[in-house]
């Protein structure tokens, strides 16, 4: 018998072929699709924990104190947050909704950093009432609003200034945040003056400095560039009497989608911590806010082939997941590996994998060599981050189910959304 060469899935330690069947941990992908239908997001608990463990190990080995804050926006499903809360992680949030999710999942408010460029007064009040550890502020006017809200609440808000270090992270323009043309952060020229202003306000206390330069960053250099600028600002602020207790490096470490070779969390963190120590800031707490690198490669989107369609120009595989379920390809032209759940032998054709949504941007992958028959199950890998969180109901499609695999067990952590749920709160005219 001919041995079959199975697709290698580098970067996906808990998603692999056993014989010719794709497995998530010990569970057959086809069995998950049979039980829960498609499209369905499936996550490996072990993969999430292992990615988190890499950061925890790097932190444990470091003489510098490191505070780990998972960026909720990458994947905010309660069971996913719960897995990380149980490992002792804190959270980085960008809305009051994310804060409520963290609390519902068992996260500690005292380990929550509130980021985001447009926090409302109501969100600030909620965060103050539950006692988040820090607000990462992005503008002078936001500082004034927070001071007022904290006064009304009878509290003193701990704040960090998120500065914009003006470095090119070398990533997609839509996920670059650290250039001076981006909306994020406080310009370096304004940061010291703003730090001084916090000292005059009775209901805020400056405790930190933060930067976050973008996402899916695959080298350490832009971080080192940003860090140097941030540390220059810390020095300037402290010369004027401020005391900066923590330095927040943000998140953004990339993952391997197809051919990228990002550093491991250890290889990312070690040079940054070394630079912090070398410049004399080793006694400060360092915060990190990874999102994608914790959950990205722990998840896959299972989707079934509805139709194979060939035109004079192309071969299409029309599948039952669309851009409403996974928008990364349409939004960022993201390339994710598409793996068949059962490997077939035969003649491979080059397919564009497209969804049922009425948009030409509705594609999941382009020009993939696959041996396919209608009804075949496919797994779009690396879908654990910025997948379900960005899903919408466009075309009145309920969002996918989510399943967490833990060893040989499967847990339905979010049932598929029904159409009745979509319009349950709508009103007809009298």
Active-site residues: which are they? 358
Q: In the complex, which residue's CB is closest to ligand PLP?
A: 291
Q: Which range touches ligand PLP (CB under 6 A), out of 126-134, 290-298, 337-345, 365-373? A: 290-298
Q: Does 115 bind ligand PLP (CB under 6 A)?
A: yes
Asked if residues 375 and 318 have their Cβ atoms less than 8 Å apart, the reply is: no
CA distances, 222 to each of 68, 171, 215, 252, 291 (Å): 20, 10, 12, 11, 18
Is the Cβ of residue 340 or residue 387 nearer to ligand PLP in the bound state? Answer: 387
Is the Cβ of residue 71 or residue 353 nearer to ligand PLP in the bound state? Answer: 71
Q: How many residues bind ligand PLP (CB under 6 A)?
A: 18
Q: Supply the minimum distance, in Å, between the C-beta of residue 414 and ligand PLP.
A: 20
Q: Supply the minimum distance, in Å, between the C-beta of residue 163 and ligand PLP.
A: 12
Q: Does 90 bind ligand PLP (CB under 6 A)?
A: no
Chain-centroid distance, C-alpha 332: 14
Residue 404 main-chain phi, psi, to 5 deg = -105, 125
Is the Cβ of residue 165 or residue 252 nearer to ligand PLP in the bound state? Answer: 252
From candidates 48, 66, 71, 269, binder to ligand PLP by CB under 6 A: 71
Q: Supply the minimum distance, in Å, between the C-beta of residue 244 and ligand PLP.
A: 18
Is the Cβ of residue 38 or residue 211 nearer to ligand PLP in the bound state? Answer: 211
Is the Cβ of residue 92 or residue 362 nearer to ligand PLP in the bound state? Answer: 92
DSSP for 322-361, written as a single string: -TTT--HHHHH-----EEESBPPPS--EEEEEE-SSSSTT
How many C-beta atoms surround the C-beta of residue 162 within 10 A?
Answer: 26
Of 167-196, binders to ligand PLP (CB under 6 A) are none
Q: Does 107 bind ligand PLP (CB under 6 A)?
A: no
- What value, to the nearest 5°, has the Cα angle with vertex 129 and ends 125 and 134? 80
From candidates 73, 101, 256, 397, binder to ligand PLP by CB under 6 A: 73
Give the Cα separation of 204 and 159 in Å (integer): 7
Q: Which range touches ligand PLP (CB under 6 A), out of 4-12, 146-154, 269-277, 283-291? A: 283-291
Give the Cα separation of 58 and 219 in Å (integer): 17
Q: Does 329 bind ligand PLP (CB under 6 A)?
A: no
Site string for ligand PLP, 194-233 (x = CB under 6 A): ------------------x--x------------------
Q: Does 290 bind ligand PLP (CB under 6 A)?
A: yes
Q: Which range touches ligand PLP (CB under 6 A), out of 76-84, 227-235, 288-296, 419-427? A: 288-296
Is the Cβ of residue 290 or residue 329 nearer to ligand PLP in the bound state? Answer: 290
Q: Does 92 bind ligand PLP (CB under 6 A)?
A: yes
Using omega within 30 degrees of 0 as the cis cutoff, is the peptide bond preceding 39 cis? yes
Q: Supply the minimum distance, in Å, between the C-beta of residue 71 and ligand PLP.
A: 3
Q: Which range touches ligand PLP (CB under 6 A), out of 151-159, 249-257, 374-382, 387-395? A: 249-257
Q: Does 252 bind ligand PLP (CB under 6 A)?
A: yes
CA distances, 125 to each of 40, 72, 106, 148, 326 (Å): 36, 20, 20, 10, 33
Give the Cα separation of 235 and 32 in Å (integer): 54
Give the Cα separation of 228 and 396 in Å (integer): 48
Q: Does 138 bind ligand PLP (CB under 6 A)?
A: no
Give the Cα separation of 265 and 70 in Å (integer): 13
Q: Does 250 bind ligand PLP (CB under 6 A)?
A: yes
Q: Does 246 bind ligand PLP (CB under 6 A)?
A: no
From candidates 25, 133, 138, 289, binder to ligand PLP by CB under 6 A: 289
Q: Supply the minimum distance, in Å, between the C-beta of residue 191 and ligand PLP.
A: 16
Is the Cβ of residue 27 or residue 81 nearer to ligand PLP in the bound state? Answer: 81
Q: Does 340 bind ligand PLP (CB under 6 A)?
A: no
Give the Cα separation of 301 and 378 in Å (integer): 8
| Whole-number CA gyration radius for the chain | 23
Give the Cα separation of 295 and 127 in Å (integer): 25
Beta-bridge mates of residue 354:
318, 363
Cβ neighbours for 395, distance < 8 A, ≥ 6 positions apart? 322, 324, 356, 357, 358
Spell out the alpha helix ranges (H) of 105-139.
121-130
Cβ neighbours for 283, distance < 8 A, ≥ 6 positions apart? none
Site of interaction with ligand PLP (CB under 6 A)? 71, 73-74, 92, 94, 115, 212, 215, 250-253, 289-293, 385
């Amino acid at each position: 018998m001919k041995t079959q060469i199975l697709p290698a899935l580098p970067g996906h330690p808990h998603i692999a072929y056993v014989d010719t069947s794709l497995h998530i941990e010990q569970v057959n992908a086809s069995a998950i699709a049979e039980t829960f239908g498609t499209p369905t997001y499936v996550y490996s608990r072990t993969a999430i924990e292992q990615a988190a463990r890499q950061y925890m190990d790097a932190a444990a080995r470091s003489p510098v104190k490191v505070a780990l804050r998972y960026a909720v926006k990458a994947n905010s499903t309660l069971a996913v947050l719960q897995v990380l809360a149980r490992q002792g992680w804190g959270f980085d949030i960008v809305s009051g909704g994310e804060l409520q999710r963290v609390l519902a999942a068992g996260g500690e408010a005292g380990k929550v950093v509130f980021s985001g460029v447009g926090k409302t007064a109501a969100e600030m009040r909620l965060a103050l009432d539950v006692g988040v550890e820090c607000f990462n502020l992005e503008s002078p006017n936001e500082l004034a609003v927070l001071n007022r809200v904290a006064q009304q609440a009878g509290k003193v808000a701990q704040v960090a200034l998120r500065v914009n270090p003006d470095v090119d992270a070398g990533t997609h323009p839509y996920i670059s945040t650290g250039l001076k043309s981006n909306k994020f952060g406080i310009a370096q020229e304004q940061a010291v003056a703003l730090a001084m202003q916090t000292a005059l306000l009775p209901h805020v206390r400056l405790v930190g400095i933060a930067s976050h330069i973008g996402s899916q960053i695959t080298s350490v250099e832009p971080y080192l560039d940003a860090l140097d600028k941030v540390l220059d600002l810390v020095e300037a602020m402290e010369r004027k009497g401020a005391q900066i207790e923590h330095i927040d490096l943000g998140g953004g470490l990339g993952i391997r989608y197809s051919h990228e070779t990002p550093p491991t969390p250890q290889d990312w963190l070690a040079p940054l911590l070394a630079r912090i120590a070398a410049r004399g800031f080793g006694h400060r707490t360092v915060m990190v806010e990874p999102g994608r690198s914790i959950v990205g490669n722990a998840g896959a989107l299972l989707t079934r082939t509805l139709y194979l369609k060939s035109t004079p120009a192309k071969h299409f595989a029309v599948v039952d997941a669309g851009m409403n379920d996974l928008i990364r390809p349409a939004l960022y032209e993201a390339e994710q590996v598409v793996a068949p759940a059962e490997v077939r032998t035969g003649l491979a054709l080059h397919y564009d994998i497209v969804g049922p949504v009425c948009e030409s941007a509705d594609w999941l992958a382009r020009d993939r060599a696959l041996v396919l028959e209608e009804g075949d199950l496919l797994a779009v890998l690396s879908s654990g981050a910025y997948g379900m969180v960005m899903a919408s109901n466009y075309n009145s499609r309920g969002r996918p189910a989510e399943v967490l695999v833990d060893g040989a067990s499967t847990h339905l952590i979010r049932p598929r959304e029904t159409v009745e749920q979509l319009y349950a709160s709508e009103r007809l005219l009298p």
